[in-house]
Structure formats: C-alpha cells, structure tokens
Amino acid sequence: MTIRSVIIGTGSYLPKNRVANHDLPEHLNTSHEWIVERTGICARYLAAPDEYTSDMAVEAAKRALNVAKLTPQDIDMIILATSTPDHTFPATATRIQSKLGMSKGFAFDQSAVCSGFVFALATADTYLKQGMAKTALVIGAETMSRLLDWTDRKTAVLFGDGAGAVVLQAQQGTDRGILGSLLRTDGCGYDELYVNGGPSTTQTTGVIHMNGREVFRNAVHRLEEAVEDILQQCDVSQEEIDWLVPHQANKRIIDATAKKLGLPDEKVIHTGNDHANTSSASIPLALDHAVRDGRIQQGDLILCEAFAGGFAWGSNLIRM
C-alpha cells in the first residue's frame, strides 16, 4: 500500500522584539511607505542577542509536537532547513535533538536559503517513503538579522527572525499527505543573492548582498513554472487548490503567482506584512498561522512555493 507523509502537527515561534517599519534605525534613510509599497512588509521580529536559531527551532518543534500529541521520543528524524546555523558545524539539528531530549534516530541540516523548507519537506517525504524513518520533525528556523548589513537599506528592511515546524508521519491507506514536490536550482544566479562570507573563503560570517531587480524578475517567472509543473506532475487542476502558502519575500511576487493560478487573495496566506522575510521559516510560520486561526482545515489541498538565493526554487502539493 502507498505510504504518504502526513502533516499531523504544526508549530511556530517568533521572538518577542517586534520592530515596525517606523522603529527602524533613522540612518537607514527609508520610510514605511517605501517598504510597504515595494514589499508589503510592515514589521519584523528580531531575536534577542542570546537567542539562537536552535532556541527558536526548539520552541516551534515543541508546539508542533504538542498538536501532534507526541513526545520527542516518538521522533526518529529531524531535518532543519536553515542558512543561519548556531555554528558552522556540527549540524544545528543535532543541538535541537539534544535540547528536545531526543536520544534516538538522526538529525541533519539542509541549506537552500528561502527555499529550504520546500527542499526539507521533499527530503523528509523521500526518507519516510523509503522507510528510513517513521515520524519526522521538519523545521525552518532563521536568525536572518545576524546576516544583515544594518547600513544597507536595500536589504536590512526585508528580513526577520523566527521558526516554524511540522511533524510528518508515514501513514498507509490515506489520501492525506505530501502529493508531490518539485525542486529546481540554477547556479548561474549564485552572485545575484549571496552572503559575502564563509569558512572556506573569508573565514567570516559575512552579510547579505542582493541584486533585488534580478532576483525579483527570476522569482516571478520561475515560480510560475514551479506551480504549473507541480500541478501537471500531480494531475491536479488549479481550481482544486484551497490555499496558496507561499514563501513571504515580497507581496508583489506572491500576487503574481496567485494571479497565474487564478486564486483570489482570500485563498492566499500572507504573513510577510507582520513577519517580513524569515527565509526558510516563512512557509511553516505561515502554515501554522493559518492552521491555528482555523482557515486551513484537515482535507484542504495546499500549495507551498519558494524562490531563493542559488537560485533555488520549488513547490510542494499537500493534502492536509
């Protein structure tokens, strides 16, 4: 019988410090109006100095486990999607494993920047279908504020910190679960959006550099491809989609994808206005948000999509 990877719990976490556009440092020489018009962002949450990616991931994971009515000992795999690990190595996922008190199974990090959660869901789905694990935590967690150049208004206004998690369980005889995933990369976009540091190059952490226009242009047309192709792959028509749960980089990019799908705005989950771009955390944060407020219900068909540095992009089609 076919094995499906079913989402049985969602959770998320935002740091306490909410910074509205009006609260941004004056030296950035920006305005609430400019940021809202170009991106839709009104605020972001920033981690406390002693708050790490693993701390936020653990909080989101605990909430997802609580919903799933499971304990950490029921989990046999953790995949953490992040570009902001606590340390260069070991994998931050192993730190999450020990902070949760989970002593079995395995845990590793996956890096595809803002598409990290889409890639991690696809990876977890494959592992569960192969029988390598039965119950997985898939987490997206980021302290993007640590990668920002706070003198660069082109990037500093765009990002925030946070974490989101789902519990995935291998089940048989169900029509729920991940129906399909589509993953793409094109390394020709490497220099358009990158962090100018790293262990093997500068031995520093570095800060984000982005050619915003080029990223925007690529995001719009490659996401069109990502949503069209996954629907075709899964033999699903666009009318069947109940919710679009997109990566929250820019409202204009999301609107373009929704338009392509013929989805009205009421069917699109928007959290970027309040959270900004939390990279790999943004999809699970948005998903948890809409599950908790009762919009997304069991049985709904949801489409997740993301575009990121690399370039890396993709989508997952999920029956909740």
Q: Should residue 157 be labelled a site residue for ligand ACO when binding is judged by CB under 6 A? A: yes
- Cα separation of 8 and 171, whole Å? 10
Burial status of residue 42 (CB atoms within 10 A of its CB: 0-12, 13-18, 19 or more): middle
Site for ligand ACO in 16-35 (CB under 6 A): 30, 34-35
Can residue 212 be called a binding residue for ligand ACO (CB under 6 A)?
Answer: yes
The reply on whether position 308 binds ligand ACO by CB under 6 A is yes
Nearer of residues 110 and 169 to ligand ACO, judged by Cβ: 110
For 57, residues 6+ apart whose C-beta sits below 8 A from its C-beta are 13, 80, 82, 92, 96, 139, 141, 163, 165
Mark whether 114 is an active-site residue.
yes
| Closer CB to ligand ACO, 55 or 142, in the complex | 142
User: What is the x/- site pattern for ligand ACO, positions 86-125, by CB under 6 A?
Assistant: ---------------------------xx-----------
From residue 168 to residue 207, the character string flagging contacts with ligand ACO as x (rule: CB under 6 A) and all else as - is -------------------------x--------------
Catalytically annotated residue among 114, 250, 270, 289: 114
Q: Which of 21, 218, 250, 277 is catalytic?
A: 277
Q: Please indicate whether residue 209 is annotated as part of the active site.
A: no
Examine the residue annotation and report whether 21 is marked as an active-site residue of this protein. no
Q: Applying CB under 6 A, does 167 fall inside the site for ligand ACO?
A: no
Region near ligand ACO per CB under 6 A, out of 103-111, 152-160, 169-177, 288-296: 152-160
The catalytic residue positions are: 114, 247, 277
Residues that bind ligand ACO (CB under 6 A): 30, 34-35, 38-39, 113-114, 153-154, 157, 193, 212-213, 215-216, 219, 249-250, 253, 277, 279, 307-309
